[in-house]
Chain A
Amino acid sequence: MEFLVDAAAWFRDPHNWQGSNGVPARVLEHLYYSGVATLIALGLALPVGLFSGHTGRGGALAINVANIGRALPTFGLIILAVIMMGLGDLPIFIALVAFAIPPVLTNSYAGIRAVDPDIRDAAEGVGMTGWQVLWHLEVPVALPLILAGIRTSAVQVVATATLAAYAGSGGLGRYIVNGFAVRDFPQIFAGALLVALLAVLIELVFGRLQALVVSEGLAARTAQANADAKMTSAAA
């Protein structure tokens, strides 16, 4: 259990809480990469997913994106992006966004498609326009799965951003990469612990958020939706 003592010592060392390599700075950096990438992916994937779900077009595309996304080795592609485009934030963001898209796209599509056609007919029958059907019926009913997709993306981006440290990015992955480089095991262990905590924390925060915004009648679907959505993420 000596490593626990070492790791505790690492966390107690004030040096590890200050400056650009301190825990607060690294956590913020990690949240910055993850947050920006998730938001860009949302902006790109959510409209496409909702629209194709609403019209029923592009279903094969959504399913194929999910399948290909799962088969692609995240770790290799993020390194490839940096070698081909040079060190810097742009290739990192491109890779992070690319891997954040499939869960949002496929789950928003699947969520809208799964809305009971009878309810959709009824909504059209009472004179709702296409937009109204989408905003007042399909999106609220599909919300458990849509949010589960966003949650999956956000958590997966945290993991991918950790791997991105190998490709030269900042964030909490730096502790692991730098630690391996100088065989500083307390630092490696502390970094891994912080990454795991951050991912679990984001997962739990999203869980609370889902509980707040999803209609009570659909709450039972949330657990299942979360499990389903996780399967659409790439391996990281």
Chain B
Amino acid sequence: MSALYQAAAVAQTGEALIRWDWVMRHDERIRALFLDHVELTAIPVLLGLAIAFPLSLSAVRWPRLYAPLLAGTGLLFTIPSLALFVLLLPFTGLSRTTAIIPLTLYTLLVLTRNIVEGFRGVSDDVSEAAEAMGYTRPRRLVNVELPLALPVIIAGVRIATVTTVGLVTVTAVIGQGGLGRLFLEGLRFRDTTPLLVGVAGCIVLAVLADLALLAAERHMTPWTRRARS
């Protein structure tokens, strides 16, 4: 129980968990790391979408592909992130690529699942009506089915984005990491201030990204808003 006593002792001595003067002195660096974190989150999610879309559309067209696709992306998701980053080191070194490849792979499970579920949720009546109106298959896909599938697809993008914000911090170990660098700094100096700034920054980024995607969804699917009100 010594750990609990120690925590209590820290609380009693009133040693500040967060020193605001440190935050003030490092505001430029924190801002730079935050922006770096945004970039390390956005690139994998966008790459993930570019890869997941063709995979998912094939699974919609050929339903037998869906189970193996879920199993494959699920197995990738199982590999601990630290291990996957490290396993890429011999190939891509301590580079941004080493961070981006696993982060992209991790988004595939959620994105694939939600893109497929989104398209599957489009009523057959709608698809048949579109076909009867003379839509070709590709145009029907883009102009009729995609907009109707968007809410489910964006729900997947939101989950993938929030998860990636957390995973980015682990890439600090291979010299990237965005706000995750503050974790290693806090660890080295046994200092809670950079750690708490990093944790808070991640949560703020996750919430902001989530709200932005929610707003984007509202904007792109105005009919759902009308139906709701």
Contacts and interface: CB of A to CB of B under 8 A. Distances in A.
Contacts of B89: 185, 188-189
A200 B180 contact: no
Contact of B166 (A72, A91, A203): A72
Contacts of A75: 166, 169-170, 172, 180, 183
**Does more than half of chain B's interface fall in helix, strand or loop, or is it mixed?**
helix
Interface in A157-212: 158-159, 162-163, 166-167, 173, 176, 180, 185, 188-189, 191-193, 195-196, 199-200, 203
Interface residues of A, number: 51
A71 B82 contact: no
Given A167-B187, A223-B71, A86 B195 contact: no
Contacts of A224: 70
Nearest to A77: B199
Contacts of A192: 82-87
Given A80-B196, A159-B82, A227-B109, A72 B203 contact: yes
Interface string B1-13: 1111011001000
Most chain A CB neighbours (cut-off 10 Å) among B85, B164, B179, B198: B198
Contacts, number: 171
A74 interface: yes
A71 B2 contact: no
Contact of B180 (A4, A76, A199, A231): A76
Given A76-B180, A76-B183, A71 B203 contact: yes
Contacts of A3: 90
Contacts of B4: 85, 90
User: What's the dominant secondary structure at chain A's contact region?
Assistant: helix
B95 to A, nearest CB: 15
B137 interface: no
A146 interface: no
A58 interface: no
Nearest to B82: A162
B165 A71 contact: yes
Contacts of B99: none
Given A90-B1, A90-B4, A71 B86 contact: no
Given A71-B202, A83-B192, A227-B70, A76 B169 contact: yes
A153 interface: no
B79 A199 contact: yes
A73 B162 CA distance: 10
B163 A80 contact: no
Given A88-B2, A188-B86, A227 B163 contact: no
Contacts of B212: none
The 4 closest A-B pairs by CB, nearest first: A235-B166, A159-B80, A192-B86, A71-B206
25 contacts: A4-B90, A71-B165, A71-B203, A73-B202, A75-B172, A83-B186, A84-B17, A158-B80, A159-B80, A176-B82, A180-B173, A189-B90, A191-B86, A192-B87, A196-B80, A199-B78, A199-B80, A223-B67, A223-B70, A223-B71, A226-B70, A228-B113, A235-B167, A235-B170, A236-B167
